[in-house]
Amino acid sequence: MKHPGMVSIIGAGPGDPELITVKAMNRLREAEVVLYDRLVSEELLAYAGPFAELVYVGKAPGRHAMPQEEIERWLIRYAMDGKRVVRLKGGDPFVFGRGGEEALALAASGIPYEVIPGITSALGAAASAGVPLTHRRAAASFACVTGNRCHGDQTPIRWDLLAHSVDTLAIYMGVSQIGAIREELLRHGKSASTPVALIERGTTCRQRTFTCTLDDMHKLAAAVKLSNPALIVVGEVVRVREQLQLFEHQAEVYYGS
């Protein structure tokens, strides 16, 4: 048997290609095979070596994504073939990225691997929308929550606890469930007037950001045709964005011709 290669499970960051880490970029440059997802910036693929094999394993419009088990089999197969493999995933591989499953599959097969973190979209999108996830006097905690139970995952989402014990909620994969999320949070006593930011394609040049309240977030999402990838941020910290915008406006008035 050949000496096995190595798999680097890498976070590509939230969208803006400049938000990848130096370490991840170095691995990408050395890669012989790159298996990448839908949310990975195409621009990053240009940094892979000229002879690197690029394998798309994301979901094509109207078609299913490659099954997770198959992705894991490919990673193992390429590594067994002695290749330097990069598994490039949107955001951070260990935040709703199924990176843990891939690491487990590689470990079980005795394949050397490493995990290189990325900026998860909650951090990226919040920063580029001017919404600090924690803020003095407004939020001492935040949680990353999935708004959607997929892949047969039945881990319950404790909206009852999240509504009360976490100050800022950064909700991933929530667009299609926004009405149900609103209901859950209101039912568990979250104030209807809690500010909300809807951030679509955060950190990219196509970013759109909208603010509203928990009570009307489903209506706004429908009115603006909010689409994926988008993040829902619920919490008082959303007001900071409004304050920042006020300063921007003043600066414009001051510096404007």
Q: Which sequence positions are flagged as catalytic?
A: 37, 59, 173
Q: Is 95 in the site for ligand SAH (CB under 6 A)?
A: yes
Question: Cα separation of 149 and 95, whole Å?
Answer: 14
Which of these segments, 19-27, 66-74, 223-231, 247-255, binds ligand SAH (CB under 6 A)? 223-231
Q: Which two tokens stand for residue 140?
A: 């001492």
**Residue among 86, 172, 211, 235 that touches ligand SAH (CB under 6 A):** 172
Give phi and psi for 116, each to the nearest 5.
Answer: -110, 115
CB atoms within 10 A of CB 154: 5
5 or 99: CB nearest ligand SAH: 99
Among 36, 78, 96, 142, binds ligand SAH (CB under 6 A): 96
Interacting positions 22-41 with ligand SAH (CB under 6 A): 39
* Angle between helices 68-80 and 99-108 in degrees, nearest 10: 40
If binding is defined by CB under 6 A, does position 90 make contact with ligand SAH?
A: yes
**Side-chain-side CA neighbours of residue 143 (13 Å):** 14
The answer for 138, left when phi > 0, alpha when psi is -120 to 50, beta otherwise, is alpha
Under rule CB under 6 A, residue 10 binds ligand SAH: no
Q: In the complex, which residues of this chain contact ligand SAH (CB under 6 A)?
A: 14-15, 39, 89-92, 95-97, 120-121, 125, 172-173, 199, 201-204, 228-231
